[in-house]
Amino acid sequence: MSTETTRSGLTWDRLRIPVVVAVLAALPLLFFDPSYTYISRLFILTLVFATLALALNIVFGHTDQLFLFVGALTGIGAYATALTADALGVSPWVTLLFGATLAGVLGALVCYVAARRRFTVILIAILTLSLQLAIIEIFVGARDITGGSTGFRFSGLGLESVQNALGVHEHMVLYYVVLALLTGVLALYHYIRNSKYGMAFDAIRQDEIAAEAIGVDVVRYKTLAGFVSAFVIGLTGPMYAQLESLVLPGMFEFNVIDVLVLIILIVGGIRTMLGPIVGAAVIIYVNEELQATGQWRTVVFGFLLIVLFLYFRSGIVPYLDDVLNERLGLKARIRSLVAD
């Protein structure tokens, strides 16, 4: 009985990424309509937020370092990519990695300092929140470079040759670009979970001092987690900007990005691979439905945040997992009874 459940768990574990990616890859063929970009925008937004939540999952879920500056990191990625591309006169595709690296280095720096100075979770939360607000202030204030609060138009990440060759809408191309990024991050997440890094993260999360005592370099692993997450977030930033065709400070504010990403991560299931995707789909959908109610959207989100954290901290994916396991366990038990 036990071998059977582990074996089915194992195949699911191996098939999970290809199956999910295949399903996601099929969606545009079913739902996208070139004359009606409203739906396609939502699908891309879902992938963008799923990627952000998956990135936060690594650093917050697995190493307990609460990043409250996901918005700022997204912004750094977008601004750095767009502005350097503009200054050098090259395509943003060239400077994409620069923007991501800049965000990654900031993430690593924050985690390094926090780990060296033995920050508790509340300290790193306050530190990153201060950074979030300071960075948005800089986006708004450094008007000469960033264009101030009205920002600037951005459309450098389109692949016009592909678009023209296939005769599809730009959203179709962007969707697959973001999906490629998400697939990469899913694979990375899977790798991390099943490597020495995942083990080290678990050890650190459970007991930092014990982890250090058995030879885990806590500062190094925490810094690494910070770099990886911030890098991915920085890479997602320009995609988000491409979707909105804009780069402006208001897009990267705490209330716009961080609150949503946190809710997505918790709704979907923290420390799970598929949680961020499920969470993003649910929350982006709810968010859109609530647009019709106007201002009540904020009220409902506040309420959701409270209720979810108090009563539903485990999330949808772990919940379904439990239900499924119970079913499978029950079936196996019945079968063993019948065999008797």
Is 18 a residue that touches other proteins (CB under 8 A)? Answer: no
Q: Which stretch binds other proteins (CB under 8 A): 113-121, 166-174, 274-282, 324-332?
A: 113-121
Is 29 a residue that touches other proteins (CB under 8 A)? Answer: no
C-alpha–C-alpha distance, residues 153 and 132, integer Å: 23
Q: Which stretch binds other proteins (CB under 8 A): 43-51, 74-82, 138-146, 195-203?
A: 138-146
CB of 142 to other proteins, least distance (A): 9
C-alpha–C-alpha distance, residues 150 and 249, integer Å: 8
> Token match 């904020």: residue?
298
Query: Contact at 8 Å (CB) between 40 and 31?
Result: yes
CB of 292 to other proteins, least distance (A): 15
CA torsion, ordered 80, 85, 86, 88, to nearest 10 deg: 120
The amino acid at residue 241 is A
Is 208 a residue that touches other proteins (CB under 8 A)? Answer: no
Is 209 a residue that touches other proteins (CB under 8 A)? Answer: no
DSSP states of 216-278 as a string?
Answer: --HHHHHHHHHHHHHHHHHHHHHHHHHHHTEE-GGGG-TTTTHHHHHHHHHHH-TT-SSHHHH
Interacting residue with other proteins among 196, 296, 319, 335 (CB under 8 A): 296
Q: Which is nearer to other proteins, 93 or 303 (CB)?
A: 303
Instruction: Look up residue 252 and give its two tokens.
Output: 């990267």
Q: Which is nearer to other proteins, 49 or 60 (CB)?
A: 60
Q: Are strands 152-153 and 246-247 parallel, antiparallel or unpaired?
A: antiparallel
Is 121 a residue that touches other proteins (CB under 8 A)? Answer: yes
Is 150 a residue that touches other proteins (CB under 8 A)? Answer: no
Residues in contact with other proteins by CB under 8 A are: 64, 66, 113, 117-123, 125-127, 129-131, 133-134, 137-138, 140-141, 254-255, 259, 262, 294-307, 309-310
